[in-house]
Amino acid sequence: MSLPKIHTCSLFAVFCLASFPMSSFAQEGPRPSLMASVFQRVGTDTDITIVYSRPGVKGRVIWGELVPYGLAPGNQYSNDRPFPWRAGANENTTFECTSDLLVEGQRLPAGKYGLHMIPTESTWTIIFSKKNAEWGSFSYDESEDALRVTVTPVAAPHEEWLAYGFEDLAGTSATAYLHWEQLKVPFRIELAN
């Protein structure tokens, strides 16, 4: 005795649904550190875009604890190799420019870069990596650096959610910055000749 065709199809559909884990159907909520971007044009046609995720302070000690000074100690995700901070949360922060720039007086070719940072109590190293599609900084490789600059952080009013921005706009130049907790990390940008 054979089952009617419609009944056989229904049983097959139930079997297929039962084979998938329920997590496949669960909708994820928003990430705790939401994605954001900031855009600035300098000159007549040079666009600069920073894409990042925004962690919150949430009562934590940020500098020297959540974000360690120097390189973070290696872990299972970095194959036990120390690594810089991803300059945000989740995927590494990216910095994209449509024309060559001078960052702190040093040339950065047009392109899209992974943005990483090495903070200390007095100076910060800002790294523009040719690798721009990584999860965090775990697979960071110094040989992929396009540019490194050293800057001095400054005290700033409290900023709960990490933010990037631009200030000191002067036509063909600007100061980009990271602002989080009570610290601002500025880096000067201008069009390259």
pLDDT digits (tens, 9 = 90+) for 31-77: 777 889 999 999 999 999 999 999 999 999 999 999 999 999 988 88
Residues in the chain: 193
Domain contains 11:
no
Domain contains 10:
no
Q: Is residue 121 predicted with pLDDT exceeding 70?
A: yes
Q: Domain containing 154: what range?
A: 29-191
Mean pLDDT of the chain: 87
CA–CA separation, 162 vs 33, rounded Å?
Answer: 9
Per-residue confidence at 138, pLDDT binned at 50, 70, 90?
A: confident
Average of per-residue pLDDT across 103-107: 98
Per-residue confidence at 95, pLDDT binned at 50, 70, 90?
A: very high
CA–CA separation, 87 vs 91, rounded Å?
Answer: 10
pLDDT at 33: 78
Question: 36-49 b/e with 16+ CB inside 10 Å = b?
Answer: eeeebebeeebebb
Domain contains 168:
yes
Domain contains 97:
yes
- Confirm if 132 and 75 have CB atoms less than 8 A apart: no
CA–CA separation, 135 vs 75, rounded Å?
Answer: 14
Residue 15's SS3 state is helix
Quickly count helices (H) and strands (E) in the chain.
Answer: 1, 10
Helix (H) or strand (E) holding 187: strand 173-191
pLDDT at 26: 43
Domain contains 8:
no
H helices present in the chain, as ranges: 5-19
Give the whole-number percent of the chain exceeding pLDDT 70: 85
CA–CA separation, 67 vs 118, rounded Å?
Answer: 9
For the chain, how many structural domains are there in total? Answer: 1
Domain contains 176:
yes
Domain contains 78:
yes
Domain contains 16:
no
Sheet of 34-42: strands edge to edge? 34-42, 46-54, 93-97, 111-119, 124-129, 145-151
Per-residue confidence at 25, pLDDT binned at 50, 70, 90?
A: very low
Q: What is the pTM of this model?
A: 0.82
